[in-house]
């Protein structure tokens, strides 16, 4: 989320500041990059904007504007301790992504698909005797394949809000 100092002509009579703890961040040519607490929202204070000043959010009017507006709403609610769950992923999608990451970790460690499946689903369900035609074998292969696709090019889709179909 990109934040900047509120221009003087847009300030309300009673100026309020962002009253949220911010973790120390790093500065680059764009600004200062921080994380908020609670919520862990990534923030960028553009230019010379400072945490104790009145701040405004900058929302580029592009294909991600809707997603950015939702992120700002979640951020504002987190400041006021009104948790708004991130609805971009369902619980099942989060679980599957976790399994995909575990598969990729196993692949990185040169574990066989059988070893990965055993770690994911348990020795009681994954048996060497049934491995060739096992549903767990095929599921592990799909998780690895889809995980590799996400790493290569698809991970940014996670950041996009799910749209309702008309």
Instruction: Report the distance separating Cα 94 and Cα 85, nearest Å.
Output: 13
Ordered by start, the domain boundaries in the chain are 2-79, 91-159
Strands (E), 28-145: 31-36, 42-46, 55-58
Q: What are the pLDDT tens digits along the chain (166 aa)? A: 888 888 877 777 665 666 666 666 788 888 888 877 666 677 888 888 877 778 888 899 998 888 888 888 888 887 777 777 777 778 888 899 999 999 999 999 999 999 999 999 999 999 999 999 999 999 999 999 999 988 887 676 666 655 554 4
As beta bridge partners, residue 105 has none
pTM beyond cutoff 0.75: no
């Amino acid at each position: 989320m990109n934040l900047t100092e509120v221009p003087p002509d847009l300030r309300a009579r009673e100026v309020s500041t962002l009253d949220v703890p911010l973790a120390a961040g790093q500065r680059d040519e764009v600004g200062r990059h921080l994380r908020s607490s609670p919520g862990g929202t990534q923030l960028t204070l553009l230019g010379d904007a400072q945490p104790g000043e009145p701040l405004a959010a900058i929302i580029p009017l592009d294909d991600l504007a809707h997603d950015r507006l939702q992120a700002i709403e979640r951020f504002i609610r987190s400041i006021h301790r009104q948790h708004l769950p991130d609805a971009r992923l369902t619980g099942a999608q989060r679980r599957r992504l976790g399994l995909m990451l575990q598969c990729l970790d196993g692949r990185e460690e040169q574990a066989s698909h059988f070893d990965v499946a055993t770690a994911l689903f348990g020795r009681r369900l994954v048996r060497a005797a049934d491995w060739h035609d096992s549903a767990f074998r095929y599921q592990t292969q799909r998780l690895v394949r889809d995980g590799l696709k996400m790493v290569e090019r698809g991970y940014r889709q996670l950041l996009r809000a799910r749209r309702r179909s008309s």
